[in-house]
């Protein structure tokens, strides 16, 4: 995973200090993180692990519905439901080139700066892999019921071609050069990597703080220390605590523990006195002034800790809008709860019944398909090998038809196939993700209208989830654009007051544009009202060439 990067001046502690100035801050942060992590794992970890196994089709001893169960089949019905739901949302969000818009606020008369910011933001997001990131975020939402992302800000070197003109008899040539670029992009955060305030708030911005826990290779930590991102005097080794290296939501993502450290990145409130004590560098006068400050005063900060004890970085929130880089939104509404409801949770009970039916049939077939013999042991030679294979010869003392006979436990009930179909139908009802091929099963009208009527129920159910995705994208894009304006002012105009419209807002606005277009035919050519409506159409357009039209 990736951590947020904002380079700052180094503050080194004095070697003669007996007490580390960062001990108070580390103790306060990790005290909250460990307590909330334990509560989170108790409430969710076992359930998340099972959801992940169902989606990946992996069997485990916990998957058994009865002790005598031998089959390890995992039906793919829930996997299909997740795939269909992801395909629907990704198609709705990213199918069009202009999948979001940034209209300026109403009071601002200069609308062009928002249009420029929108086009540049779309270009930068695609350059930083927004399609892959959104697929990961939505997949986590389908599996665990929560859309989580962290905004990363870093300076990257981008390769560019440089043209060197001909000189001193040497021909002109093109070489590779580098330029610095401020990259601001989201990364997906699995719920098992996120520790949130379990005291009650359901909004990340109102919580005491949120931590992102992940493992980082040691060579990347050393590189960030060399770049001035982390403290250069911090000595970080591999994680040795089993609790800090256990997989949380990363069941099949092995990593060599000897080459990685466990990173805890805290985004939220911290005691102002503890933060100031660390940043003072151990200066005695500063420590005396800090000691006279209010002990209960809190400040927004970003704190990075390695292996739950080594402080790598602590700084006030660098965002000019004082907003947190962690964003979270429910995938499907669960009132008064932080965690939402995912597709796998909706299908869970039906999936368990479907797996039980499949495994019971497979276990029964193993008894029926494998040949078994019933024999009169009094009329068989002693120590006779009763195992059966092609070409086997049995020696008997008498007529073998009387001594040996085929033994069967019965046949598999044919109705079990109908029961599995009912379970699959129930999964479709629970998730709302119907197979497009099955939608036309009971529809006589194969026209576009008939297909639309058949799929209308599924679309309506998806709209509720789409509104959550819309809210998530709105908050994400607004905060990314704020950071672009702050850290890349040459490329982005300094206009922090704007709105964000996602896919649903764009579709609703297209309906409004259609209505305004119909009104044009009732107005005189060249009249004031007609020109005003034409201007409104251009300003409300989602076209990539909106700026040129205005």
SS3 string of 115-174? HHHHHHHHHHHHHCCHHHHHHHHHHHHHHHCEEEEEEEEEEEEEEEEEEECCECCECCEE
Residue scoring higher pLDDT (102 or 56): 56
Mean pLDDT of the chain: 80
- pLDDT for the residue 399: 87
- Nearest partner of 221 among 211, 234, 210, judged by Cα: 234
**For range 485-509, the mean pLDDT:** 74
pLDDT at 379 over 80: yes
Name the band, by pLDDT with cuts 50, 70 and 90, for residue 241: low
- Annotate 441-452 with DSSP letters as a single string: TT----SHHHHH
pLDDT in tens, 179-224: 889 999 999 999 999 999 999 889 999 999 999 999 999 999 999 9
Residues 6+ apart with CB under 8 A from 387: none
pLDDT higher for 498 or 223? 223
Region of residue 19 (phi > 0: left; psi between -120 and 50: alpha; otherwise: beta) = beta
Q: Could you give the 3-state DSSP secondary structure of residue 465?
A: helix
**Given a cut of 90, is residue 341 above it in pLDDT?**
yes
The answer, yes or no, to whether residue 243 has pLDDT greater than 60, is no
Instruction: Give the pLDDT band (50/70/90) at residue 55.
Output: very high
pLDDT per residue as tens digits for the range 279-292: 876 666 556 656 66
Neighbours of 244 (CB within 10 A): 21
> pTM for the complete prediction?
0.79
pLDDT tens-digit profile of 506-516? 555 555 667 77
Q: Which of 17, 20, 10 is nearest to 277 (CA)?
A: 20
Categorize the per-residue pLDDT at 14 as very low, low, confident or very high, splitting at 50, 70 and 90: very low
Lowest mean pLDDT among 329-343, 363-377, 443-457: 443-457
Which residues does residue 11 pair with via DSSP β-bridges, in sequence order?
A: none
Q: Is the pLDDT of residue 495 over 80?
A: no
Q: What is the pLDDT of residue 50?
A: 93
Higher-scoring residue by pLDDT: 84, 499? 84
Confidence of residue 248 (pLDDT cuts 50, 70, 90): very low
Decide if 487 contacts 182 (C-beta within 8 A).
yes
pLDDT at 483: 94
Give 265 or 90, the one with higher predicted confidence.
265
Give the pair of three-digit tokens for residue 251.
Answer: 């069941």
Where residue 43 falls among pLDDT bands split at 50, 70, 90?
A: very high
Burial class (CB in 10 A: 0-12, 13-18, 19+), 328: buried
Residue 453's pLDDT is 44
At 194 the pLDDT is 95
Q: What's residue 496's pLDDT?
A: 77
Share of the chain above pLDDT 90, in %: 35
- What integer pLDDT is reported at residue 325 of this predicted model? 95
Q: What is the pLDDT of residues 75-121, one digit of tens each?
A: 999 999 999 888 888 877 887 777 888 877 666 666 677 888 888 99
Taking CA atoms, 417 is separated from 354, 421, 424, in Å, by: 10, 6, 11
Bridge partners, 210 (sequence order): 196, 267
**Residue 444: pLDDT band with limits 50, 70, 90:** very low
């Amino acid at each position: 995973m990736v951590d947020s990067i904002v380079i700052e001046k180094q503050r080194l502690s004095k070697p003669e200090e007996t007490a580390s100035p960062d001990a108070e801050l580390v103790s306060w942060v990790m005290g909250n993180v460990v307590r909330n992590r334990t509560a989170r794992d108790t409430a969710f970890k076992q359930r998340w692990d099972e959801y992940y196994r169902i989606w990946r089709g992996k069997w485990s001893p916990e998957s058994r519905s009865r002790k005598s169960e031998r089959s390890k089949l995992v039906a793919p019905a829930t996997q299909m439901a997740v795939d269909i739901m992801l395909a629907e949302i990704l198609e709705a969000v990213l199918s069009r080139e202009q999948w979001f818009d940034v209209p300026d606020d109403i009071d601002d008369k200069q609308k062009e700066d928002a249009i420029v910011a929108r086009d540049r933001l779309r270009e930068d997001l695609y350059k930083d892999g927004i399609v892959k990131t959104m697929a990961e975020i939505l997949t986590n939402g389908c599996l665990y019921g929560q859309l989580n992302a962290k905004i990363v800000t870093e300076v990257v070197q981008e390769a560019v071609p440089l043209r060197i003109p001909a000189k001193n008899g040497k021909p002109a040539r093109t070489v590779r050069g580098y330029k610095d670029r401020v990259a601001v992009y989201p990364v997906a955060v699995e719920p098992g990597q996120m520790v949130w305030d379990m005291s009650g708030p359901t909004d990340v911005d109102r919580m005491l703080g949120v931590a992102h826990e992940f493992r980082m290779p040691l060579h990347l930590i050393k590189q960030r220390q060399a770049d001035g991102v982390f403290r250069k005097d911090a000595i970080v080794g591999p994680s040795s605590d089993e609790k800090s290296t256990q997989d949380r939501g990363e069941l099949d993502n092995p990593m060599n523990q000897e080459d990685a450290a466990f990173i805890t990145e805290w985004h939220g409130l911290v005691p102002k006195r503890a933060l100031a004590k660390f940043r003072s560098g151990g200066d005695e006068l500063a420590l005396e002034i800090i000691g006279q400050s209010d002990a209960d005063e809190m400040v927004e900060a970003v704190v990075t800790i390695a292996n739950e004890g080594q402080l790598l970085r602590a700084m006030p929130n660098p965002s000019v809008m004082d907003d947190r880089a962690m964003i979270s939104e429910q995938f499907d509404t669960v009132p008064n709860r932080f965690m939402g409801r995912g597709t796998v949770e909706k299908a869970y009970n039906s999936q368990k019944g479907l797996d039980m039916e499949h495994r019971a049939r497979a276990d029964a077939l193993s008894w029926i398909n494998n040949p078994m013999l019933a024999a009169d042991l009094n009329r068989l030679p002693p120590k006779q090998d009763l195992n059966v294979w092609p070409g086997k010869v049995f020696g008997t003392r008498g007529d073998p038809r009387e001594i040996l006979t085929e033994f069967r436990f019965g046949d598999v009930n044919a109705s079990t196939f109908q029961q599995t179909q009912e379970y699959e139908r129930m999964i479709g009802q629970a998730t709302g993700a119907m197979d497009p091929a099955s939608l036309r099963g009971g529809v006589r009208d194969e026209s576009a209208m008939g297909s639309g009527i058949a799929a209308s129920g599924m679309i309506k159910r998806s709209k509720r989830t789409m509104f959550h995705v819309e809210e998530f994208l709105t908050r994400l894009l607004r905060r990314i654009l704020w950071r672009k304006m702050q850290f890349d002012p040459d490329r982005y105009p300094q206009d922090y007051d704007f709105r964000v419209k996602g896919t649903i807002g764009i579709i609703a606005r297209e309906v409004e544009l259609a209505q305004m277009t119909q009104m044009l035919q009732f107005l005189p050519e060249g009249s004031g009202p007609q020109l005003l409506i034409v201007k409104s159409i251009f300003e409300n357009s989602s076209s990539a060439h909106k700026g040129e039209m205005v």
